[in-house]
Structure 1
Amino acid sequence: MEYTQLGRTGLKVSRLVLGTMNFGPQTDEADSHAIMDAALDAGINFFDTANVYGWGENKGRTESIIGSWFAKGGGRRDKVVLATKVYGNMAAEGETWPNHDKLSALNIRRAVDASLKRLGTDHIDLYQFHHIDRSTPFEEIWQAVDTLVAQGKILYAGSSNFPGYKIAQANETAARRGSYGLVSEQCLYNLFERRAEMEVVPAAREYGLGVIPWSPLHGGLLGGVIRKEVEGGRRSGGRTAEALTDTAVRAQVQAYEDLLDKHGLEPGEVALAWLLTRPGVTGPIVGPRTAEQLGSALRAVELDLAPELLGELDEIFPGPGPSPEAFAW
């Protein structure tokens, strides 16, 4: 496993991030524990979760599964750089009581204590804002964060799904306060969806944030979906199937798979390896449902994509380019 610094921090993290969103809804507790053990054995030290994972009446379940894994001991907690998120509504199912969501100082305080309890730990290494909060000023957010840092409950703060201007606004406000500011941005970014290159990635690099792409296979679209249809004899479902009804998208994906067949490469592994070549990227989030899927993701770290292949990938998925050139002369 390769390691890198998380943005401008001194924190060393693996170049693959273990995403845990499937733990609970898709993968039971025993298999989730096995996947986390396998990830740790492979050198992955960066684990990502969120307080809402588990969803619906089971929100918080994923953090609890991680907490029960930590409780097994063996240095598990000490070896992991633990990231979780705050924003989503954590009120009991069916309740509409206020102040159980978003980024008010009250909810941040409430949410971090609840996450710590579920995770069975005394601190969170990276506490991420899951979405922008248009109603709460950054002065209030940083006041709450600075208090938590002083209490030792969190070490760093990060963002997720922030536009570039909000990254700038957040860190300019932090600088005026003498706060450390955001150290990472977790965004939708992959070969098919490259709009983050316009504003988000440049803003993150300018302010020293590590970029953590989520959905690196774009919901399976970049994982050899057409070949699996042919070999398995059945069509994909959900958003992937919907995307493939667009003939232009299907042609792109087919060209992608044909190119990698020519080179003898697996599409999903190349999609991850491509992200590892992108400037500013710390590491993509992989969310395996099984140990076999984790093994495929690990092979991506070993891939060395030739410049010629990178150029061919750019021809299929050109991306918008940086702004303002992406939308102006």
Structure 2
Amino acid sequence: MEYTHLGRTGLSVSRLCLGTMNFGPQTSEADAHLIMDTALEQGVNFFDTANVYGWVQGEGITEKIIGNWFAQGGGRREKTVLATKLYGAMGDWPNQRGLSALAIRREVEASLRRLQTDHIDLYQMHHIDRDTPWDEVWQAMEQLVAQGKVLYVGSSNFGGWHLAQAQETARARHFLGLVSEQSYYNLLRRTVELEVLPAAEHYGIGVLPWSPLCGGLLGGVLRKERETGRRAGERVSADLEKHHEQIAAYEEFAAELGHEPGEVALAWLLSRSAVTAPIVGPRTLQQLESALAAVELTLDQKALDRLDEIFPGHRPAPEDYAW
């Protein structure tokens, strides 16, 4: 496994981040524990979760699964760089969602209990909260850092101007601010190249792409349909119909390279200068093993150029759309 620093920090994280969103709804607790054990054995030290994962409001099912895994001991917690998130609704009452100081205080304590740990390495805002001023957010986060309950703060699904706004407010408070941003980024969805990636690079914020295989669309969906006869789910099928020509060309090119389409998609993200670690969310151990192979794949410039031909990207704004 290769390691890099998370953004401008001195924190070393693996080039792949283990996403845990499927733990509970699609992956049993026993299988999730096996996946996490295997990830650690293979050198993956960066795990990502969220208080809403498990998708039963207020239950924090996925965090509980991870907490039970930590409780087994064996250095599991000590070896893991643990990231979780807050923002989504954890109940129906006011202040049970968002980024108010009250919500931040309540949700960090709840996550710590479920995760059975005394601190969160990377505490991430799952979405921008337009109703809460940045001074309030940073004051609450500063207190958590001072208490040792949180070490670093990150964001997810922020626009480029949100990153700038957050960092400039943090700078005025002499606070480190954001060290990471989780964005929807893959070969097919490259909108963040307009402003999010330039802002992240400017401020030293490490980018953690989620859905690196675009919901399975970049994971060899056409070949799987030919081999099994089973069609993809409704959402993937709709996107596949729209992008069929691109996906067909992509799978053909991956075959020419002699690699699985999913490996090529991850290797492409790993070649992006702003990217710290794509977040892979395996449902099974086999899917984890396939993702691990991508770290050893280096795409040359000719291959990168061909992928840009199949999936055209963006130049930074405003040059992308203006003179």
Within a 5 Å distance, the mapping from 1:1-40 to structure 2 comes to: 1-40=1-40
- Which residue is equivalent to 1:328? 322
Q: Does 1:274 align with 2:265?
A: no
* 1:237-273: CA deviation from partner (whole Å, max 9, x where unpaired): 1321111222xx1100001011112222210000001
Q: Residue 56 of structure 1: SS of its match in structure 2? A: coil
Match of 1:254 among 230, 245, 248: 248
Q: Residue 216 of structure 2: SS of its match in structure 1? A: coil
- Which residue is equivalent to 1:317? 311
Structure 1 CA distance for aligned equivalents of residues 149 and 70 of structure 2: 17
Structure 2 CA distance for aligned equivalents of residues 198 and 106 of structure 1: 34
* Further displaced range: 48-57 or 111-120: 48-57
- Which residue is equivalent to 2:72? 72
Structure 2 CA distance for aligned equivalents of residues 141 and 75 of structure 1: 33
Within a 5 Å distance, the mapping from 1:276-295 to structure 2 comes to: 276-295=270-289
Q: How many residues align?
A: 323
Return the offset for 1:278: 0.3
Within a 5 Å distance, the mapping from 1:121-136 to structure 2 comes to: 121-136=117-132
Paired residue type of 1:257: E
Q: Residue 34 of structure 2: SS of its match in structure 1? A: helix
Within a 5 Å distance, the mapping from 1:108-127 to structure 2 comes to: 108-127=104-123
Paired residue type of 1:308: K
* 1:3-52: CA deviation from partner (whole Å, max 9, x where unpaired): 00000101000000000000000001000000000000000000000000
Residue identity over aligned pairs, in percent, reads 67
* 1:31-76: CA deviation from partner (whole Å, max 9, x where unpaired): 0000000000000000000000000247400000000000000010
Contact 2:101 2:136 in 1 (8 A): yes
Structure 1 CA distance for aligned equivalents of residues 291 and 16 of structure 2: 8
CA RMSD in angstroms comes to 0.8
Paired residue type of 1:167: L
- Which residue is equivalent to 1:87? 87
Structure 2 CA distance for aligned equivalents of residues 49 and 204 of structure 1: 21
Return the offset for 1:305: 1.1
TM-score by length of 2: 0.99
Paired residue type of 1:226: L
- Which residue is equivalent to 1:180? 176
Paired residue type of 1:270: V
TM-aligned CA distance change 1:59 to 1:192, over 3 Å? farther
* 1:281-312: CA deviation from partner (whole Å, max 9, x where unpaired): 00100000111100000000011112111111
Paired residue type of 1:241: S
Q: Does 1:226 align with 2:222?
A: yes
- Which residue is equivalent to 2:62? 62
Within a 5 Å distance, the mapping from 1:35-46 to structure 2 comes to: 35-46=35-46
Structure 2 CA distance for aligned equivalents of residues 186 and 223 of structure 1: 20
* 1:160-205: CA deviation from partner (whole Å, max 9, x where unpaired): 0000000000000000011110000000000111111110011011
Return the offset for 1:320: 2.0
Paired residue type of 1:295: E
- Which residue is equivalent to 1:169? 165
* 1:111-167: CA deviation from partner (whole Å, max 9, x where unpaired): 000000000000000000000000000000000000000111000000000000000
Structure 1 CA distance for aligned equivalents of residues 256 and 294 of structure 2: 18
Contact 2:14 2:277 in 1 (8 A): yes
Return the offset for 1:97: 1.2
Structure 2 CA distance for aligned equivalents of residues 48 and 315 of structure 1: 32
Structure 2 CA distance for aligned equivalents of residues 238 and 54 of structure 1: 21
Structure 2 CA distance for aligned equivalents of residues 194 and 59 of structure 1: 34
